[in-house]
């Protein structure tokens, strides 16, 4: 059976210490929901190490190769890696079309790599990839950041990278394999959906300061983030929910209408934010400590506690409401939700009364 090449760590050093992430239960926690949160309350966070790799090639899809084999660091988790490798025939075809038959481009400057197979999305870029870059500190000034070509089209990628002093940014073009003499790669700062909390708070301060948002007045906005335009995880009774939100003084926004800087600005000025599970909740990272978020989440969903964990890392007050899926058999990652409007009113009242 095909197995990935054992990554040759010619050198590695700790660039960020790990620790233990300890989380508070939601403010409106109900005992019958203990199974949703109890396994998340104390999670070990490993240190972030800077790996130094030599003779590694990277494809325009973001896959790392050495010796004709795929390196495991190409993937976001061992589970995703094993799933990929289990399809032996497709792996061999992938190696031929994505590595062996590609035009090779020599890259002799020291390069930096911070992405995996999930980093393309807004949440994973901000929660997984950008913290890896931030962890490298001043070293990033001496390195050229390499990214797969499709990242070049993402406004939030280009805008966030402008905040850093980098030795340059280069994109691996379609149909090419970039052969790197020396590639430096920080490991993940935490398993995806978890966080090195101190690092994330420092990253928040860095972004807000860079955009000139730290000295602004007290946050006061009430915002409902709608996913009405999203392809999945919508609210099926959106009109009813919007009516309730407006009754409580919330304005409705679609974060996809705004640039990265504008999204950070909106979040930093928001005291109360409500949304169903989705990328828009990533912006809670930029809310100020002590602000409040209410997540509308699928009943029985206990694996994707990303925003409960992020709220704890950002020192926010976290409220939740469990919702029935439109189709009980649909995957939690894609299922649309029905929101009980009366319960929503009760939770909003609790949230706004909480100090």
Query: Which pLDDT does position 335 carry in this prediction?
Result: 85
- Residue 145 β-bridge partners: 112, 169
Fold designation for 211-353? Rossmann fold (3.40.50)
The C-alpha angle 39, 42, 44, rounded to 5 degrees, equals 110
C-alpha distances in angstroms, 219 versus 21, 222, 223, 255, 269?
27, 9, 11, 18, 4
Query: Which pLDDT does position 1 carry in this prediction?
Result: 34
Backbone angles phi and psi of 253, in degrees to 5: -130, 160
Task: Decide if 128 contacts 119 (C-beta within 8 A).
Answer: yes
Give the distance, in angstroms, between the CA of residue 296 and the centroid of all CA atoms in the same chain.
Answer: 18
Backbone angles phi and psi of 19, in degrees to 5: 165, -150
Number of DSSP helices (H) and strands (E) in the chain, helices first: 11, 17
Per-residue confidence in pLDDT tens, the chain, 355 aa: 344 444 445 568 999 999 999 999 999 999 999 999 999 999 999 999 999 999 999 999 999 999 888 999 999 988 888 888 787 678 778 888 888 888 899 999 999 999 999 999 999 999 999 999 999 999 999 999 999 999 999 999 999 999 999 999 999 999 999 999 999 999 999 999 999 999 999 999 999 999 999 766 678 999 999 999 988 889 999 999 999 999 999 999 999 999 999 999 999 999 999 999 999 999 999 999 999 999 999 998 898 999 999 999 999 999 999 999 988 877 777 889 999 999 999 999 999 998 6
C-beta contacts of 7-12 below 8 A and 24+ residues apart: 7/51, 7/53, 7/66, 7/71, 7/72, 7/73, 8/53, 8/54, 8/66, 9/51, 9/52, 9/53, 10/52, 10/53, 10/54, 11/51, 11/52, 12/49, 12/50, 12/51, 12/52
Query: Which pLDDT does position 10 carry in this prediction?
Result: 57
Q: Is the pTM of this model over 0.85?
A: yes
Q: Where are the domains of the chain?
A: 11-24+49-194, 211-353
């Amino acid at each position: 059976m095909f197995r990935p090449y054992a990554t040759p760590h010619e050198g590695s050093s700790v660039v960020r210490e790990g620790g233990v992430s300890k989380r508070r239960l939601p403010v409106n926690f109900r005992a019958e929901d203990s199974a949703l949160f109890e396994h998340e309350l104390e999670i070990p966070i490993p240190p972030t190490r800077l790996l130094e790799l030599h003779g590694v090639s990277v494809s325009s899809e973001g896959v790392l190769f050495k010796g004709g084999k795929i390196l495991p660091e190409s993937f976001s988790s061992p589970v995703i890696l094993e799933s990929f490798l289990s399809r032996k025939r497709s792996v061999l075809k992938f190696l031929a079309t994505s590595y062996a038959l590609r035009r090779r481009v020599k890259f002799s400057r020291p390069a930096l790599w911070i992405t995996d197979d999930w980093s393309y999305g807004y949440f994973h870029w901000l929660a997984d990839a950008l913290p890896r870059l931030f962890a490298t500190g001043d070293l990033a000034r001496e390195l050229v950041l390499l990214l797969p070509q499709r990242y070049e089209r993402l406004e939030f990628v280009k805008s966030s990278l402008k905040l850093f002093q980098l030795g340059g940014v280069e994109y691996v073009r379609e149909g090419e394999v970039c052969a790197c003499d020396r590639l430096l790669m920080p490991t993940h700062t935490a398993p995806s959906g978890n966080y090195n909390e101190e690092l994330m708070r420092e990253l928040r301060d860095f972004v807000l300061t860079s955009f000139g948002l730290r000295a602004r007045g007290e946050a006061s906005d009430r915002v409902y983030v709608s996913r009405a335009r999203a392809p999945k995880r919508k609210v099926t009774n959106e009109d009813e929910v919007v009516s309730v939100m407006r009754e409580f003084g919330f304005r409705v926004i679609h974060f996809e209408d705004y640039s990265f800087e504008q999204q950070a600005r909106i979040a930093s000025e928001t005291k109360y934010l409500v949304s169903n599970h989705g990328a828009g909740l990533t912006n809670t990272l930029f809310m100020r400590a002590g602000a409040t978020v209410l997540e509308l989440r699928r009943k029985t969903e206990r694996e994707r506690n990303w925003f409960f964990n992020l709220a704890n890392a950002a020192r926010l007050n976290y409220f939740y409401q469990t919702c029935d899926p439109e189709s009980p058999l649909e995957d939690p990652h894609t299922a649309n939700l029905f929101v009980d409007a009366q319960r929503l009113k009760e939770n909003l009242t609790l949230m706004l009364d909480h100090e």
